[in-house]
Amino acid sequence: MSSAEIAAVAVTYAPFLGGMMVGCFLFGITISQTIIYFRNYKDDSLFLRGLVASALAVDTFHFVMVAEGVHNWYIFCKMPANYAGLALFHWSLGASIVATYVITSMVQGLYVMRVWMLSKNLWVAIFISFLSVAQLGFGLWLWEDLLVANSLNVLHQTKGQIGGSVELAATTLCDIAISAALWWYLHRGRTGFASTEKMIDKLILYMVNLGLLTSVASLLTLILWLVMPSSFAFVSLTLIRSKLYCNAMLVTLNYRQTVRTALGHGTQQSSRYVHDIDGGVEMNSKVSKNSRH
C-alpha cells in the first residue's frame, strides 16, 4: 500500500478519531453525573441504582473498545506488515456497536416506564417499546452482517444500508415519540395553580429537551448515513450516542432533587399531580413513596 493510499484511508477513518475525542469529554461528564447520583440518591430502589451502575459499566466498556479501535487503525495498522487490517472490521468496533445498542435500549426502556407511569396508556407504551426493540433488532442484524463479512464495506452495500437505515430511523422515531408523549402528558397536568404550573414547565424543559437532544443526534446520524453513503462521516455521531443517552438519563435522575424541593414548598392540592410525575421519575424509590404521605 502506497503512502497516498494510506493517507486516503486515514482521511476516511478520521470520523472515528473525532468521535473518540468528543466521547472523552462526554465520558468525563458521565462519570461526574454518576458520582452525583450515588451521593444524592442513596435511598433509590435497587432497580434504579443497578440501572445506573450497569449503564456506566457498559459505557466504560464502549469507551475502551472505541479507544482500542482507534489504536488499531491509527497505530497498529500503520505498520507495513499490518496494512491489510485497515480494510477489516476490527472486533473492538463490533463490541462498541453492541454496547451502543444496549445503552440506547436501557435508557429508552427507562423513558418508556416513565411514560407509562405518567399516562397509564398501554398502547403508547407498546408503540414506543416496539420502536426501541426495532432499533436493537436491526442494529444487531447489521452488526452480525459486519462480523460475518469482516469488512466495513458492508455498510455501503444494500443489506447494510437497509439495516442501518431502519435502525437509525427507529431510534429517531422512538426518541421523538418519547419526547412528544412526555410533553403531552405533562401538559395535561396543568391545574391552574402557580406552583404546579412552574414545576411542570421545568419538568417539560428538562425531560423533553433531553429527549430532543438524542433525537437530533440520531436524526443527524441518519441524514449523514443517507446523504453521504460512501463515507464514514456518520460514525463521529454514532460513537458519542451512548454518551448522550447516559448523560440524558443521569441528568433526568439527578434533577429529581429540584423536584422534591419544589414539592416541599407546594400545597397538597396543587402538587398532587406533580407528586404523580415525581413518582414516575423516581420509579418506585423509597423517597417517592415517602413523598406521598
Which three cell numbers, joined as nine digits, stand for 79? 505498520
Type and span of the H or E element at 71: helix 46-74
Q: Where are the domains of the chain?
A: 3-282
3-class DSSP assignment, residue 12: helix
For the segment 155-203, what is each residue's pLDDT rounded down to a tens digit?
A: 777 777 788 889 989 999 999 999 888 888 877 766 555 656 666 777 7
Q: Which of 42, 33, 56, 32 is nearest to 250 (CA)?
A: 33
Percent of the chain at pLDDT > 90 equals: 24
Q: Which residue has the cell 436493537?
A: 136
Taking the whole predicted model, whether its pTM rises above 0.85 is answered as no
For the segment 36-86, what is each residue's pLDDT rounded down to a tens digit?
A: 999 988 888 898 899 999 999 999 999 999 888 877 766 666 665 555 666
What would be the CATH architecture of the domain defined by 3-282?
A: Up-down Bundle (1.20)
